[in-house]
A and B are shown apart, each in its own frame.
Chain A
Amino acid sequence: MTDQSNPPPKAPPRTVPVKSATFDDVTLSEIRRAAATGIYDIRGGGAKRHLPHFDDLLFLGASMSRYPLEGYREKCGTEVVIGARHAKNPIILKTPITIAGMSFGSLSAQAKEALGRGANAAGTSTTTGDGGMTPEEREHSNLLVYQLLPSRYGMNPDDLRKADAIEVVVGQGAKPGGGGMLLGQKISERVAKMRTLPEGIDQRSACRHPDWTGPDDLEIKIQELREITGWRVPIYIKVGASRPYYDVALAVKAGADAVVLDGMQGGTAATQNVFIEHVGIPTLAAIRPAVQALKDLGMHRTVQLIVSGGIRNGADVAKALALGADAVSIGTAALVALGDNDPVWEDEYRALGTTAGAYDDWHEGNDPAGITTQNPALAARLDPVAAGRRLANYLNVMTLELQTIARACGKSHVLNLEPEDLVALTVEAAAMAGVPLAGTSWIPGRPD
Chain B
Amino acid sequence: MTTATMTNTGVLDLSALSLREANETLQAATEGAFTIVNPGGRHAIACGLEHPVSVTIEGHTGYYCAGMNKNADVTIRGNAGTGLAENIMSGTVRVTGDASQAAGATGHGGLVVIEGNASARCGISMKGVDIVVGGNVGHMSAFMAQAGNLVVLGDAGEDLGDSIYEARLFVRGTVARLGTDCVEKEMRPEHLAFLADILKRAGMDADPRDFRRYGSARTLYHFKIDNAGAY
With a cutoff of 8 Å between Cβ atoms, the chain A residues found around residue B146 in the complex are: 195-197
Q: Which of B50, B105, B163 contacts A210 (CB 8 A)?
A: B105
On chain B, the number of residues with a Cβ less than 8 Å from chain A's Cβ atoms is: 42
Check if B20 sits within 8 Å of A227, measured CB to CB: yes
Of the candidate stretches B3-11, B31-39, B196-204, B219-227, the one touching chain A is B219-227
Q: A151-B125, A210-B102, A227-B19 are in contact. Are A39 and B62 (CB under 8 A)?
A: no
Determine the distance from Cα of A217 to Cα of B121 in the docked complex, in whole angstroms: 15
A164-222, CB < 8 A from B: 181, 183-184, 195-198, 201-202, 204, 206, 210-212, 217, 220-221
Identify the B interface with A (CB < 8 A).
Answer: 19-20, 23-24, 27, 43-44, 47-48, 50, 62-64, 67-68, 70, 82-83, 86-87, 89, 102, 105-106, 108, 121, 124-125, 127-128, 143-144, 146-147, 163, 165-166, 220-223, 225
When distances are taken between beta carbons in the complex, the residues of chain A under 8 Å from B106 are 152, 155, 210-211
A residues in contact (CB < 8 Å) with B? 37-39, 151-152, 155-157, 160, 181, 183-184, 195-198, 201-202, 204, 206, 210-212, 217, 220-221, 223-224, 227-231
A157, A181, A183, A184: the one within 8 Å of B48 (CB): A157
How many pairs, one residue from A and one from B, have CB atoms within 8 Å of each other in the complex? Answer: 103
Given contacts A217-B63, A223-B43, contact A210 B108 (CB under 8 A): no
B44, A196: Cβ atoms under 8 Å?
A: no
Contacts of B144 in A (CB 8 A): 204, 206
Are B44 and A227 closer than 8 Å at their CB atoms? yes
Q: For B165, what are the chain A residues with a Cβ–Cβ distance below 8 Å?
A: 197-198, 201
Contacting pair A198 B166 (CB below 8 A) = yes
How far does the alpha carbon of A211 sit from the alpha carbon of B106 in the complex, in Å? 9
Kindly state the separation between the CA atoms of A224 and B223 in the bound complex, as whole angstroms.
36
B47, B62, B166 — most chain A CB neighbours (10 Å) = B47
Closest to B27 in A: A230
Interface of B is mostly: loop
Task: A417 to B26: give the CA distance in the assembly, Å.
Answer: 47
B23 to chain A minimum Cβ distance, whole angstroms, is 5
Q: Is the interface of A mostly helix, strand, loop or mixed?
A: loop
Contact B222 A184 (CB under 8 A): yes
Give 27 CB contacts A-B under 8 Å: A39-B225, A151-B125, A156-B68, A156-B87, A157-B89, A160-B68, A184-B222, A195-B146, A196-B147, A197-B165, A197-B166, A198-B221, A201-B165, A202-B220, A206-B144, A210-B86, A210-B124, A210-B125, A211-B82, A220-B43, A224-B47, A224-B63, A224-B64, A227-B48, A228-B47, A228-B48, A230-B27
A156–B70 alpha-carbon span in the complex (Å): 10
Contact between A230 and B67, CB atoms less than 8 A apart: no
Inter-chain contact A224/B222, CB cutoff 8 Å:
no
Instruction: State whether A39 touches B68 (Cβ < 8 A).
Output: no
Distance in angstroms from A147 CB to nearest chain B CB is: 14
Alpha-carbon distance A224/B47, docked complex (angstroms):
7
- Report B-chain residues with C-beta under 8 Å of the C-beta of A204: 144, 163
Query: Do residues B125 and A202 form an inter-chain contact, with CB atoms below 8 A?
Result: no
Shortest distance in angstroms between B25's beta carbon and chain A's nearest beta carbon?
12
Inside 8 A of A152's CB, which chain B residues have their CB?
Answer: 87, 105-106, 125, 127
Q: Which residues of A contact B125 (CB under 8 A)?
A: 151-152, 206, 210
Chain B residues, Cβ within 8 Å of A231: 20
A356 to B48: give the CA distance in the assembly, Å: 47
